[in-house]
Amino acid sequence: MILEPAPAKVNLALHVRRRRADGYHELETLFAFARHGDVVAVVPADTDALVVEGPFAAALRDTAPADNLVLRAVRDFRSKLGGQAGYAMRLEKNLPVASGIGGGSADAAAALRALARLNGVGTDDPRLVAVARGLGADVPACLLGRTALGTGRGDELVPLEGLAGTPMLLVNPRVAVSTAAVFRGWDGVDRGPLPEGSLLERALAGRNDLEQPARASAPVIGEVLDRLASSPGQRLARMSGSGATCFALFEDRGDLARPATDARARGWWCLETELA
C-alpha cells in the first residue's frame, strides 16, 4: 500500500490579470503548502474503488464517480501511462470541501504521485504533468507540492524558496463558495503584477483579487479576516484561492493558540500547522 499526503494549498497572493480566450483567467499566484491535509492510500486491485473517510467525507459521498477527481486521476493515469487494471483507494478527508485550499486538486495530485510510485514513474514525467494539467488548473501545483510561482492558468510553475516552517493557522467559517461564481464576480480590473523580492516581501505586497467577490458571496469571510488580522504576532492574513478558507502566518507557534480557540468557539473549522 502506498500512502501519499495531500497537503492543504494556500495562495499567499493571487493576482487575476485578464480573462483568456479559452475561458480561463491569466493568473499570477504564490503557491505554498501546509504540513497537514488529506491522505490518499492506494493499492493494486482488480477494479477501481474509492472509500472516503474522515471528518469531511460526507460532503463527497454523493459525488458521481465520473466527477470525482481522484477516480478521474486514476483513469487518466491508466490511459496515458498504463498500470494496473484497478486500484483500491482510501481518501482520508480532513480538509473542508470547496474551500480554496486545494481540496479535490490536492487529492487528485496525491493519487497521481501514489500511482507514479507504484508504477516506477517520475513525478516530473511530462506525461504525468500533462495528466495533472488536464484535471484542473491547481493540480500541477499540488503535484509539485512545494512553494512556487504560478502563472498562465496557474499551472506554469517556478519553484521558490522561503518561509518553510512558518507557523500558520487556517480558518474556514464552514461555508462553501462557488469558484465559478467568485470568478464571475471579479470586476475585471487588472491591478498589476506580483512584485519582485523575497517570498515574504512579495506576499506582503501582493493581494488576492478574488477576496472582494468572495466576501460579497459570503460576508463572514470578512469577519474571519478581521479577526486573523488583529491577532498578536500575525505577519500576513489573507483569503486563500476563491475562499472561504483564510489563513494567517505568525511569528511564533505559540501565537496560534488564541485565534484558534476563538475560531473554534465560533464553530469555525481551523487547522494549526506550518508551511512546508
Say if residues 255 and 249 touch (Cβ distance below 8 Å).
no
Give domain 167-274's CATH superfamily: GHMP kinase, C-terminal domain (3.30.70.890)
CA distance 139 to 70: 11
Q: Where are the domains of the chain?
A: 2-159, 167-274
- pLDDT at position 232 is 97
For 205-216, the pLDDT digits (tens) are: 999 999 999 999
Q: Is the pLDDT of residue 65 over 80?
A: no
For residues 233-262, give the mean pLDDT.
Answer: 98
Report percent pLDDT > 70 for the chain: 100
CA distance 135 to 129: 10
For 172-198, the pLDDT digits (tens) are: 999 989 999 999 999 999 999 999 999
Closest among 243, 3, 6, 241 to 104, alpha carbons compared = 6
Residues designated catalytic: 9, 138
Domain 2-159 fold is Ribosomal Protein S5; domain 2 (3.30.230)
The residue with greater pLDDT, 61 or 74, is 74
Closest among 58, 42, 24, 35 to 114, alpha carbons compared = 42
List for the chain the helix, strand, coil content (%; round to 5).
35, 30, 35
